[in-house]
Chains A and B, each alone.
Chain A
Amino acid sequence: MVQYTVRRVAQAIAVLWAAYTVTFVVLYALPSDPVSILLNQAGGTGRPSADQVAKIQAAYGFDDPIVVQYWHHLVDAFQLDFGQSVSRGQSVTSLLAENLPPTIALTAMALVLTTVIGGGLAFLATYVGWRPLRSFLHRLPAVGVSFPTFWVGLLLIQLFSFSLGWFPATGSSGVSSLVLPALTMSLPTSGILAQVLIRGLDDTLDQAHIATARAKGLSRFTIHTKHALKNASLPALTILGVLVGATVTNAVVAETVFSRLGIGRLAQQAVLAQDIPLVQGIVVLAAGVFVVVNLVVDLIYPLLDPRVLQHSSSRSLAPVEVAA
């Protein structure tokens, strides 16, 4: 167990370092010209003077070789210093800290909703006996993952804010403003969770120990909850870890649609402003969250399923990909 933990932690740190490196390469070493992007950003119009360019280069260390720049940035990042935001003239770290709490609240709520909706749907889809309803419920998750998040958000605003007036359409104050954006973020992820759980439940319900439980005369409900769901929810735990990444991603869209404060909206504005240090800070933060959550999942997993330790070497850190 100790060996397993040490290896997982080391792997997580390595991935985080590599993720930092990838974003550095993308943002600072791609053929684009960071100096002119930064100058445009600073409000300069027309051709920048050589003086301005030199000043920017010195301030951001662009006159150093790229490897030296990388080293300085990495050392700074290690101390949680991601430099100055160009568009806001504030340190990236303080901007992230300011915008983090509303996004954490939103993400937490979205994950709870994902578990409830995804889990509930999977349970119903496998529990219901009436065939037409059953096959309808089996197909429903695919609908959830097919519609653009921004569209779902706008649809919810139209329905629950403008037509019914139940929840506010925009803003970041109070719990009621959390409901619609969190729901928006959770629909696609619950679709994925439900698909995985449904598959797991269908497989588990075919197994011999379920037949034994039935033969013993246990009720359908008991078999479903105690025997099937428990087994099927193990893979779902891994998926849930991966879905945290998707949820952070969805926050970019949801916070933009609902005009909420938070990391996601900050990301959208940072990209619009081509604010390189801020974009890098956000991407590294997101990668960090993703890595940490999956580390936690990986560390909890053997407690729930001791078989993992026996062949843990074959499991990889990111077993499933969840893209935008």
Chain B
Amino acid sequence: MSRFTWQSVLFLAPAVITLLLFAYWPLLQDVWLSFHSWNMVSPTMKFVGLQNYLQLLSSGELIKILLNTILYILVLVCVNFILPYLLSFIIAHRLNRFSFFYRSALFIPSTVSLAVASILFLWILNPLAGPLNIILSAIGLESPRWFKESGLVIIIIGLIIGWKVFGYNLILLVAAMVDVPKELIEAARLENVSNWQLFRRIIVPMTSSTALYVFVITVVFGLQYVLVPVNMLTQGGPDQGSTNLVYIVYQYGFVFFQTGKASAFAIVTMLLYALFLIVKTKVLDKKVHYEN
């Protein structure tokens, strides 16, 4: 930064101060808490050193939580990244009419709060009385107990979040797709390039920067969203089948009132996020084409 100016510092100040105050200061406190045993009201905090971390690493639940988290990420990436990516290509480049209608219609669920979505789907998916079961039993199938089967519960919660987030990601991706110059596609078409080649050689590289952004928010925000439906519908059950790195922090902190362990989990979660971003930087950014 050779032309470092005081103006730029001033411009940055509001954002930086907010972040320092509401992100980095609590982060430091979180580190401090993770070395203590405290229940949030007791006047005394017991220093326990690394005990919280050791318990966390030695308990069997960490593996289960990590596996669940990965499963959530896979489901979320499918419904909130790959699917909207493909559909946005169709909307932007394969339709002659009505693309505005599709974009709007698919976006509407994004305006519904996740709490509402959770209750709505609880009723729709009711295994005995819900509309889906009525349809399923009409064709002779028995409805699974969606929220009581481990594995299935993660997919269902992922789909509820997908239902909400899908439209927003789609809009972002359509905007990127529309920016791909029509002439390029036109030219490719004249060369008789197959659909797959067109997609692989032109669309993917030209939209990669937005796609990467959507991918990152899918993983990072997607996991934050998980908290609401899990807390409302399953409380981490069945037998921790729907718990994950984000919910476990909430559960230790606000259900079990063990702030030390909650903080330790939060730190581990943050380190994993950081790791994800490092991998993203080192591997994916190299392959991304930034237009400007």
Chain A bound to chain B: no
